[in-house]
Structure 1
Amino acid sequence: MKRKLLEVLLLLGLLSAVLCGCGGGSADKTPEGGPDSGSSEPAAQPAADHPNEITVGIAQDLDESLDPHKAVAAGTKEVMFNVFEGLMKPTPEGDLIPAVAEKYEISDDQLTYTFTIRDGIKFHNGDPVTAEDVGESLARCKNGGDGIFEVEAFSNIQHMETADSRSISITLGEPDSEFLSYLTAAVLPAGYDGQDTAPVGTGPFKFVSRAAQDNIVLERFDDYWGEKAYLDKVTYKIIENADSILMSLQSGAVDLFAHLTSTQVAQLGDEFNIEEGTMNLVQAMYLNNAVAPFDDVRVRQALCYAIDRQQILDLAFDGYGSLIGSSMYPAFGKYFDDSLTNYYTYDVEKAKALLADAGYPDGFAMTITVPSNYQPHLDTAQVIVEQLKQVGITAEILPVTWESWLNDTYMGRQFQATVVGVDASTMTARALLERFTSTAGNNFINYNNAEYDAIFQAAIAAADDAAQTAAYKQAEANLTENAANVYIQDLADLVAIRKGLTGVRFYPIYVLDLSGIRYTD
């Protein structure tokens, strides 16, 4: 795709923009089935000509801390999905099933949730999981502090009670139809203080080692409560350079790589099968609403009209991807409002008129910060730069390291615009929309809209599902109408898996489940 994109831009006389991009990896389905809590079958045995392990390539290092309650990057959550579990866990079909919990009951008034801990379930260190562990883990997420991100939904917890070592009751202040989805938060051993560097969970794989900027090693957890992982060992190899990704796959050094571009896939040859799903990300050009000129809604709307999103998909992604119009992606089904997808149509003259009305008849200069290890976002930014020239805006791509993007752009909010993808940490609309409330700690675009805050509060307080769904759609419409960001697409997820391996599972959230990967020979 890079070559094709370059050829098209050359024809348009736009070579300078292509040269702005720098190397990097990918952004951040054929389901094989979900976990089976009743299975005790042994893992598949390796064939004689290869060990029962694989190497998985990833485009960025994980967060400095591996504590799941401190995770910032979607890539960290993607990997550690294999190590940690909550009372509940998602399936590839989008359902929630008990994990650390064996079963649960909900009171008639929808306020009290009583969970029975799975009999015999163990942490990776061999300790049994108890109700005390669950209670402390939930309290940790509720209270935050010391780098731990608060789960806002847990502020609704009024009381927790452990009747015995296997039973915990959670009482809410008011009903919350989405509460179960937040109970995917990792259950950790109470009193253990080594999660930053030696994480301990209950998942199908256990952590073995980490070499910063190089690799993360996991091994199968043989005492796992459910269906055992097939592989004995998985090594995640960090490969941030786009050319190195292809070389590592073609040389045999890497067996599986997700989130590839169509160009990378086309160059792989016959040694790999390609599985196609969606990334379940909201890719957009995110705008810092607190800095000029992006604090003016007319400027933001002008940008929306000035960018041809279908051309981005055609030039940079060979037509792969699904257009979106707000902070919701199609996998969320009932919450996805397709009517917003074409709220802004490509219209150069309307964009120019809005810019003139805002006091920028001749346009302005801006920078687009992009993490350099995410090739799809770089490719998107390159096309955007050329399109903005048509309305007098001179945009420059500022490629930065992933660490710099996290620290300066995301946490520090020091940017004008950035092209990235934002994920949902849980299978809830709330997870995607809460970040744009004015007081949210992860509101990195500094969106501040009183009407939006009120709509969101109405959504989470809604007494029934229909009212809540309607309110969430109202919130999406508010983001679109006020052009909080320039929404582009949910990217296609192209996964290369070496022939002789199978078992890729796609989920409606941004994770990579390795428990089903196995050798077929």
Structure 2
Amino acid sequence: MAGHETRRLSKVASLTALAAASVLALSACAGGGGTESSGAGTESLRFGISNEPANLITGVDQGTVGNTMMTLIHRGLMSYDKEGKVIAGLAESVEMTDPITYTFKLRPNLTFHDGSPVTANNVKASLEYYANKANGSTLFVGLQDIKSVEVKDDHSGVIHLSGPNSAFLEYLAIPTAAIVPDKSLAKDIPNQIGAGPYTLKEHNRGVNLVLDKFDQYYAADQVKLPGIDMSFYSDGSARTNALLGGDVDIIDYVPWPDYDRVSGTSGMTLDAQSGPLQFIQFNVTKGPFADAKVRQAVAYALNRENAVEAAFQGHGEPLAGVKIPEDNPAYDPANTGLFGYDVSKAKALLAEAGYPDGFEAKMLTTSQYTFLQDTALSAQADLSAIGIKVTLDAPDWSTRVAKGNSGDYDLAVAGGAGIVADPTYIKGLVSGPNSFLRSFGYDNPALNAKLDEGLRATDDAAKKAAYNDALKIMQTDVPYAPINTREQAFAFNSKVSGFKNLPGFLSFYSGYSFADISLSE
């Protein structure tokens, strides 16, 4: 049944953009997109995770570990299957009566982990919270089109948009778009009560986190694991050793130098996907980086080939433009090389901006992820060559997030991915509330308008034209300086079956696949 649901949902992207009256029927038979199971096993999964999760904040992207926790504890109206297709989450059906109107019906007998029912009023409260910029939700860039949510009864309602949104269902499938109890709709309340496949049983600070299967989950009969024991391994080598030594069954963020060691070990599977991005962010509210010419100079100074080798041992590709999937209507090969490696041009741009002798700056990175440190070191050397003397600031990950959110940096090395596969993900890197995911204080109304035009386009030619215009603005204004794409890998032992790393940008949402994992005895 899951395959039938996936085929029907795969039609949605084009229907959303092109149809005036279409129906998307979401079968209630699927859970995480896997096959049916007679029940859970007796052994919990031992998961070596790359960082200790922070308290989850409603609607806020807190990095890969945060997304993983959201996929395990929560669900939204939509979800993703293991092939990266939008599938049913809490919704039983969604009817698009026109490009700005969606009618939803919830699955029957949904409950949150605290035993309270999941109702259409919770959907209304959650989605309208995410659509309000004042709440600081990372989802704002994709859900700001929500004009209102009309409740019909406890189990159904109508979502009214202010304009067409070709990626609307993709945004509803993002882990942070979870439907949560009304009491969780706040920035200072841990968002731990969900309607997902696992409940939070205990959190032993600095050691581990234990999840139990939620028997009232809508697809509980398909969840094979009785629970998950997540042990924290911030050191990459220690994480790999824990897997190879038999202390854990699966790990995330396999260190790139360990790829060959893992894949060459009998009984181990390395599951790598290409897609996540590396880039330089800027604090544009003060100092030299408020000048677009200085940001251009940085973009031309970066030796992207060196960065791929230094940080990823070749497991990536230089990125001199904006990543858009080749099968997307907005793709144009002419826009893949917005910035070449040109030290002379970079120096000339600095001189034009009034900095012929360069200047000093503080670059934010982190001590917890070696690849971000190595990327920062590569960029530091590149910028030194044009006269920008960079001092590195490398706190732990949670502090790096806090400093990024507050703009406590001049420039910063960042790693991430598009929030959705559609090129509208660019909006999340250039607009919306300030966050560690984008350049602090950056806002360009002309760029925002072109990105909105692309999002609302109802034919391929109009979409391509709008994004071409947007990328020309980005080439001049440089909201961020791209460095490279990279591979992102999980690894697991022979006991694990049913897991799959989601493709491309969606690799960071691979926690959805944990509902399909089973363990051999």
Q: Does 1:102 align with 2:96?
A: no
Q: 1:182 & 1:62 partners in 2: Cα distance?
A: 23
Q: After the TM superposition, which of the residue ranges 245-254 and 298-307 deviates more from structure 2?
A: 245-254
Give the CA deviation at 1:148.
5.8
Amino acid at match of 2:519: Y
Give the CA deviation at 1:309.
0.5
Q: 2:234 & 2:184 partners in 1: Cα distance?
A: 33
User: Which residue does the alignment assign to 1:180?
Assistant: 169
Q: Does 1:62 align with 2:53?
A: yes
Q: 2:237 & 2:33 partners in 1: Cα distance?
A: 41
Q: After the TM superposition, which of the residue ranges 158-167 and 80-89 deviates more from structure 2?
A: 158-167
Q: TM-score w.r.t. structure 2 length?
A: 0.82
User: Which residue does the alignment assign to 2:3?
Assistant: none
- Report if aligned partners of 2:203, 2:210 keep a CA contact under 8 Å in 1: yes
Residues 238 and 271 of structure 1: CA distance in aligned 2, closer, same or farther (over 3 Å): farther
Alignment of 1:490-501 (within 5 A): 490-501=485-496
Q: 2:272 aligns with which of 274, 277, 286?
A: 277
User: Which residue does the alignment assign to 1:41?
Assistant: 37
Q: 1:189 aligns with which of 160, 169, 181?
A: 181
Q: 2:310 & 2:185 partners in 1: Cα distance?
A: 49
User: Which residue does the alignment assign to 2:451?
Assistant: 456
Q: 1:336 & 1:235 partners in 2: Cα distance?
A: 42
Amino acid at match of 2:349: L
Q: Deviations over 1:1-39 (max 9, x none)?
A: xxxxxxxxxxxxxxxxxxxxxxxxxxxxxxxxx846796
User: Which residue does the alignment assign to 2:510?
Assistant: 512
Residues 147 and 284 of structure 1: CA distance in aligned 2, closer, same or farther (over 3 Å): closer
Residues 354 and 139 of structure 1: CA distance in aligned 2, closer, same or farther (over 3 Å): closer
Give the CA deviation at 1:85.
1.1
Alignment of 1:461-476 (within 5 A): 461-464=456-459, 466-476=461-471
Q: 1:264 aligns with which of 233, 258, 264?
A: 258
Give the CA deviation at 1:282.
2.5
- Report if aligned partners of 1:68, 1:77 keep a CA contact under 8 Å in 2: no
Q: 2:58 & 2:376 partners in 1: Cα distance?
A: 31
Residues 254 and 333 of structure 1: CA distance in aligned 2, closer, same or farther (over 3 Å): farther
Q: Does 1:313 align with 2:303?
A: no
Q: Does 1:78 align with 2:87?
A: no
Where 1:206 maps in the other structure, the secondary structure is strand
Q: 2:118 & 2:168 partners in 1: Cα distance?
A: 22
Amino acid at match of 1:57: G
Give the CA deviation at 1:153.
4.5
Amino acid at match of 1:62: P
Where 1:113 maps in the other structure, the secondary structure is strand
Where 1:105 maps in the other structure, the secondary structure is strand
- Report if aligned partners of 1:363, 1:392 keep a CA contact under 8 Å in 2: yes
Residues 329 and 237 of structure 1: CA distance in aligned 2, closer, same or farther (over 3 Å): farther
Q: Deviations over 1:418-449 (max 9, x none)?
A: 11113333444334324413x64335432233
Q: Deviations over 1:339-395 (max 9, x none)?
A: 333332222222233333333333333332111111111111222223333333332
User: Which residue does the alignment assign to 1:13?
Assistant: none
User: Which residue does the alignment assign to 1:430?
Assistant: 424
Q: 1:264 & 1:71 partners in 2: Cα distance?
A: 28
Identity %: 26
Q: 1:304 aligns with which of 290, 296, 299?
A: 299
Residues 202 and 469 of structure 1: CA distance in aligned 2, closer, same or farther (over 3 Å): farther
Amino acid at match of 1:214: V
Alignment of 1:130-141 (within 5 A): 130-141=119-130
Q: After the TM superposition, which of the residue ranges 396-405 and 149-158 deviates more from structure 2?
A: 149-158
Where 1:400 maps in the other structure, the secondary structure is coil
User: Which residue does the alignment assign to 1:445?
Assistant: 440
Q: 1:517 & 1:196 partners in 2: Cα distance?
A: 30
Q: 2:198 aligns with which of 196, 201, 205?
A: 205
Q: Deviations over 1:98-124 (max 9, x none)?
A: 2211112111x3232111111233333
Q: Does 1:225 align with 2:218?
A: yes
Residues 333 and 219 of structure 1: CA distance in aligned 2, closer, same or farther (over 3 Å): farther
Residues 138 and 393 of structure 1: CA distance in aligned 2, closer, same or farther (over 3 Å): closer
Q: 1:146 & 1:241 partners in 2: Cα distance?
A: 34
Amino acid at match of 2:316: G
Residues 274 and 385 of structure 1: CA distance in aligned 2, closer, same or farther (over 3 Å): farther
Q: 1:240 & 1:328 partners in 2: Cα distance?
A: 29
Q: 1:118 aligns with which of 90, 107, 114?
A: 107
Give the CA deviation at 1:492.
0.3
Aligned length: 479
Where 1:281 maps in the other structure, the secondary structure is strand
User: Which residue does the alignment assign to 1:169?
Assistant: 158
Q: After the TM superposition, which of the residue ranges 305-314 and 372-381 deviates more from structure 2?
A: 305-314
Q: Does 1:90 align with 2:86?
A: no
- Report if aligned partners of 1:62, 1:73 keep a CA contact under 8 Å in 2: no
Alignment of 1:356-371 (within 5 A): 356-371=351-366
- Report if aligned partners of 2:100, 2:161 keep a CA contact under 8 Å in 1: yes
User: Which residue does the alignment assign to 1:3?
Assistant: none
Where 2:84 maps in the other structure, the secondary structure is coil
Amino acid at match of 2:114: N
User: Which residue does the alignment assign to 1:4?
Assistant: none
Q: 1:92 & 1:258 partners in 2: Cα distance?
A: 16
Amino acid at match of 1:77: N
- Report if aligned partners of 2:199, 2:212 keep a CA contact under 8 Å in 1: yes
Give the CA deviation at 1:41.
2.4
Where 2:170 maps in the other structure, the secondary structure is helix
Amino acid at match of 1:224: Y
User: Which residue does the alignment assign to 2:26?
Assistant: none
Q: 2:231 aligns with which of 237, 254, 273?
A: 237
Q: 1:332 & 1:44 partners in 2: Cα distance?
A: 39
- Report if aligned partners of 2:274, 2:316 keep a CA contact under 8 Å in 1: no
- Report if aligned partners of 1:272, 1:496 keep a CA contact under 8 Å in 2: no
Higher relative contact order (Cα pairs below 8 Å, separated by 6+ residues): 1
Q: TM-score w.r.t. structure 1 length?
A: 0.82
Q: Deviations over 1:125-179 (max 9, x none)?
A: 3444322222222233234667766735444334433333222122233333332
- Report if aligned partners of 2:359, 2:388 keep a CA contact under 8 Å in 1: yes
Amino acid at match of 1:365: E
- Report if aligned partners of 2:321, 2:339 keep a CA contact under 8 Å in 1: no
- Report if aligned partners of 2:367, 2:395 keep a CA contact under 8 Å in 1: yes
Q: 1:121 & 1:104 partners in 2: Cα distance?
A: 16
Residues 483 and 154 of structure 1: CA distance in aligned 2, closer, same or farther (over 3 Å): closer
Q: 1:367 & 1:400 partners in 2: Cα distance?
A: 13
Amino acid at match of 1:516: D
The structure with the greater share of residues assigned to helix is 2
RMSD (CA atoms): 3.1
Q: 1:78 & 1:193 partners in 2: Cα distance?
A: 20
- Report if aligned partners of 1:286, 1:420 keep a CA contact under 8 Å in 2: yes
User: Which residue does the alignment assign to 1:25?
Assistant: none
User: Which residue does the alignment assign to 1:411?
Assistant: 405
- Report if aligned partners of 1:372, 1:401 keep a CA contact under 8 Å in 2: yes
Structure 2 stretches lacking a partner, 5+ long: 1-29
